[in-house]
Structure 1
Amino acid sequence: MPQELGSRARELSKPYYDDALPAHDQFHAARVRDVSIRLAADCESEVDSAVLSAAAWLHDIGRPRERTGAIDDHDEWAAAEAAELLETDGVTADRIDAITHCIRAHSIRANSPEPETLEAKLLFDADKLDAAGARGIVRMACIVGERSGSAGEKYAVIDDASVSGADSSDRPDITLLREWGRERLNELYTAPGRRLGDSRRQFMDDFFAQFESEIGVEGER
């Protein structure tokens, strides 16, 4: 049953998110799951919602380990770990292969495989859409915060250096959030994903226009 596989994957994934930071926690997984199912409902072709739901819950279970340096690639690790969990739970080999392909192909990284199935494309789109819109801006800001000051880097600035004149050429600023959002929206695979992406893109354009209007008057500091 579709709901049984998705619900079971949710339970299996929970312990892996205990040490996750906000941008890649169980709530991110839940949003990706909900959006992917929403996109699937708008597809003309048939979607295996059980595979999609299970992949969404499990796609970032390796993020906490990657963040601490315990593993190098959270996609590959999560796919292997998910396969072992699901096999032990009695899931069929074809379903496991479909789920692990979705997990391996969900990232925007250059070394990530292309999503070949509709389920993998929907998971990819849902994951990228969680980096856009209102929630996406907050989530991307969390990622900048997570990385800020680590490994000897300078702290991020909540400003726009091109407008404020601040010396932040070697530090992430608000323009990075805009670039991240646009990059991800430009990579969407499915028509339902692009339609939802258009509305989130419009919100982000309005947000950044408002942000720039709040920077203040020009002059000496």
Structure 2
Amino acid sequence: MTQELGPLARTLSLPYYEDALPAHDQFHAKRVRDIALRLAGHCDGSVDRNVLAASAWLHDIGRPLERTGEIDDHDEWATAEAAQLLAAEGVEPDRISRIKHCIRAHSIRASSPEPKTLEAKLLFDADKLDAAGARGLVRLACIVGERSGRTGEKYAVIDDTSATALEPSESPDIELLQDWAQERLDTLYTQPGRHLGRTRQEFMDEFFTRFAGETGVTGEW
């Protein structure tokens, strides 16, 4: 391997995002990488920043195929695909194994394993934090748009509630966004992740209060 691992993973990942919709595109992968590395700078433990960066670039390469029904589980598919790509570039087996764990454990799905390494916990937190705060709410709205009407429901089904603690919602989309963002903030593993989550939570609380006022729920004067 002649290229540094993080930039190599970026190069390998970009073709997979060509057909991605905005919520899971290359820019999402970059934001997750940036957040993960930011969190790593505030961790006490030792972090392999190259493993973390590579995992961030590769974690959602299976999303476009899952969206079109060509694969069932983008986590497992991306784990195997990333391992093949990295092995072909001569990346050390130990690093590939650590990246595989990060990718496999990044989702909030009930079928996903718990992240065990610090890199995996940081990737998980960074991915969830990209669904919170100002930018996160825009991203969640994109997901609502992607999925609205897909299952014949009046409102978008943001996630499969059978894999979460959430009850099926009869509420407008904005409350689905609120529930989904809150669920992700409640799952964060690292202290730096929870700290950043609290600042994003404060913004969202203010936003949803303002939203309720503007829609007449609480009254706007």
Q: What's the TM-score once normalised by structure 2's chain length?
A: 0.89
* Structure 1 residue 172 displacement after superposition: 4.8
Q: Which residue of 2 aligns with 1:145?
A: 145
Distance 1:217 1:59 in 2: 39
Q: Report which of the two structures shows the higher radius of gyration computed on alpha carbons.
A: 1
1:69 is paired with a residue whose SS is coil
- 2:46 is aligned with 1:46: yes
Stretches of 4+ aligned residues off by more than 4 angstroms: 169-172
Give the counterpart letter for 1:40 in structure 2. Answer: A
CA 1:186/1:155 → structure 2, altered by over 3 Å: closer, same or farther? closer
Q: Which residue of 2 aligns with 1:114?
A: 114
* Structure 1 residue 173 displacement after superposition: 1.7
Distance 1:141 1:181 in 2: 11
- The alignment covers a number of residue pairs equal to 206
* Structure 1 residue 154 displacement after superposition: 2.9
Give the counterpart letter for 2:73 in structure 1. Answer: D
2:151 is paired with a residue whose SS is helix
Distance 1:171 1:190 in 2: 31
Q: Percent identity?
A: 72
* Structure 1 residue 150 displacement after superposition: 1.4
2:4 is paired with a residue whose SS is helix
CA contact 1:185–1:197 (8 Å) conserved in 2: yes
Give the counterpart letter for 1:39 in structure 2. Answer: L
Distance 1:128 1:41 in 2: 18
Structure 2 gap segments, 5+ residues each:
157-168
- 2:57 is aligned with 1:33: no
1:151 is paired with a residue whose SS is coil
* 1:139-188 residue CA offsets vs partner (Å, 9 max, x unmatched): 111111100011333355xxxxxxxxxxxx64652101010111000000
Distance 1:67 1:129 in 2: 22
Distance 2:144 2:217 in 1: 26
What is the root-mean-square deviation of aligned Cα atoms in Å? 1.7
Distance 2:69 2:51 in 1: 29
Q: What's the TM-score once normalised by structure 1's chain length?
A: 0.89
Q: Which residue of 2 aligns with 1:80?
A: 80
CA contact 1:144–1:172 (8 Å) conserved in 2: no
2:131 is paired with a residue whose SS is coil
Give the counterpart letter for 2:107 in structure 1. Answer: S
